[in-house]
Structure 1
Amino acid sequence: MREPQQDRSRVTRQRLLEATIDCLAENGWAATTVGVVATRAGVSRGAAQHHFPTREDLITAALEYMFDTRMQMAREEAVDLPVGEGRTVAVVERLVEYYTGTLFKAALQVWTAAASDPALREWVLPLEDRFGRTAHRMAVDQLGVDGSDPAVRAAVQATLDLARGLGLADLLTDDSARRAEVVRQWASSLDAQLGARSR
């Protein structure tokens, strides 16, 4: 039986988005063209342009897909977090993982390009703002703390900033050994700062 057209279209679109993320992470912004992405996804350039008429449309859709994927992963992983002792370090580890994987490396390529491209920056800033707010809210929920407390909000934001910084440090070399120690120390400090709130 032939696969329905709608299903084939959805699969093609997803392949293009995943190929875009991989291209961005591996080859950078300049090398991620519609043609290169289409080849990597195993579809014709015409099929790619049917879904995404311009490179900007493709990149913007890939950013949204990255955001949705990152958030879905966070929601799924939240159910596996330990209760009580060990929870804070597990939450910090997960947050750091978001900033050391392929999705972050792809997003970083777009952020870097957006820094010198005002039109791209206009597309990227709302997505990044949305991701930042959602990541902050999810971190608060996972830590089981009061997000209305200014000190808690600041501590959670510092944790996200730390995670992003560790992601940057991991770009050129494998920084996993030092990163694990930083995460452990930060989680201990965060627990003390948050008053080891009951989970």
Structure 2
Amino acid sequence: MAAESAAAPARALAAPARAAKPVHEPAQERSRATHRRLLDAAVECLAEFGWSGSTIAVVAQRAGVSRGAAQHHFPTREDMYTAAIRHVAESRIADLRESVRRLPKGASRTEALVELLVDLYAGPSFQAALHLWVQASTDERLRERVVPLEEHVGWVAHQAALDALGADDDEPGVREIVQATLDLARGLGLAGLLTDDTRRRKHVVRTWARMVEASLDRPTDPGQAELRGT
């Protein structure tokens, strides 16, 4: 009986430590969910309203949280939007790597690659990034955050193109061809912002793919190539 009495306080003291964990984990999960909703809402608002119309209050309302909660996660707009673009960039990179692995073999491979790179610079995420670029062009602090992110996305896209083509960056003209393809993709992305440019874009993609093949002077099926570093 005395042993049971002595054990009871020990169990009572131990109980709160075990009970604290399930209370703590949902709070972390809610915080992560709020963080993700704010990032998604920031991209949506930036694409729809531009920089000037995408205040923290607007993003918070879109995300369904209070302004105070939004500022707890992101004290400034610069913090919010650089995090949002990083979030989008990581998603774009993951999608690009997976899509390159699924590229067809044979004569259609180069055209499929060019179309894939063009699609990288299209849609709401590209529109959001574009608004951020414009703001960063006159905001030095923001530019310092944005430039490294976009350089990383461009580098990954460049490597993906090289591997999909089975090309070597050290070969004469290869670097320029790949870079020109990415520049073309950005330009087509800009052209599609105001009007539906789908039909002309398909023609441009097809024509450019033939030019890439001719410039590389190689068969259209470069074989199975995987992304470097994966």
Normalising by the smaller structure, the TM-score range is over 0.9
How many residue pairs align between the two structures? 199
CA radius of gyration, larger in:
2
Report the AA paired with residue 142 of structure 1: A
Distance in 2, Cα, partners of 1:130 & 1:145? 20
- For the pair 1:109 / 2:103, whether they are aligned, the reply is no
Residue 9 of structure 1, CA deviation = 1.5
Distance in 1, Cα, partners of 2:26 & 2:101? 35
Residue 144 of structure 1, CA deviation = 2.1
Moved over 6 A (4+): none
Q: How does 1:152-167 map to 2 (within 5 A)?
A: 152-167=174-189
- Match in the other structure for 1:188: 210
Q: How does 1:1-199 map to 2 (within 5 A)?
A: 4-197=26-219, 198-199=222-223
Report the AA paired with residue 98 of structure 2: E
Q: What are the superposed Cα offsets for residues 146-174 of structure 1, whole Å, 9 maximum, x if unpaired?
A: 12324111100000000000001111000
Q: What are the superposed Cα offsets for residues 52-108 of structure 1, whole Å, 9 maximum, x if unpaired?
A: 111111011011111101101111212221012101000100111111111111100
SS of equivalent to 2:80: helix
Q: What are the superposed Cα offsets for residues 29-72 of structure 1, whole Å, 9 maximum, x if unpaired?
A: 11111111111011111111111111111011011111101101
TM-score, normalised via structure 1 length: 0.94
Distance in 1, Cα, partners of 2:95 & 2:158? 15
Residue 13 of structure 1, CA deviation = 0.9
Q: Which runs of 5+ in 2 are unaligned?
A: 1-21, 224-230
Distance in 2, Cα, partners of 1:10 & 1:147? 40
TM-score, normalised via structure 2 length: 0.82
74-83 vs 85-94, greater mean Cα deviation: 74-83
SS of equivalent to 1:183: helix
Residue 18 of structure 1, CA deviation = 0.8
119-128 vs 159-168, greater mean Cα deviation: 119-128
Report the AA paired with residue 73 of structure 2: H
Report the AA paired with residue 25 of structure 1: A
73-82 vs 27-36, greater mean Cα deviation: 73-82
- Identity percentage over the alignment? 55
Distance in 1, Cα, partners of 2:172 & 2:42? 38
The CA RMSD over aligned residues, in Å, is 1.5
- Flag the structure with higher helix content: 2
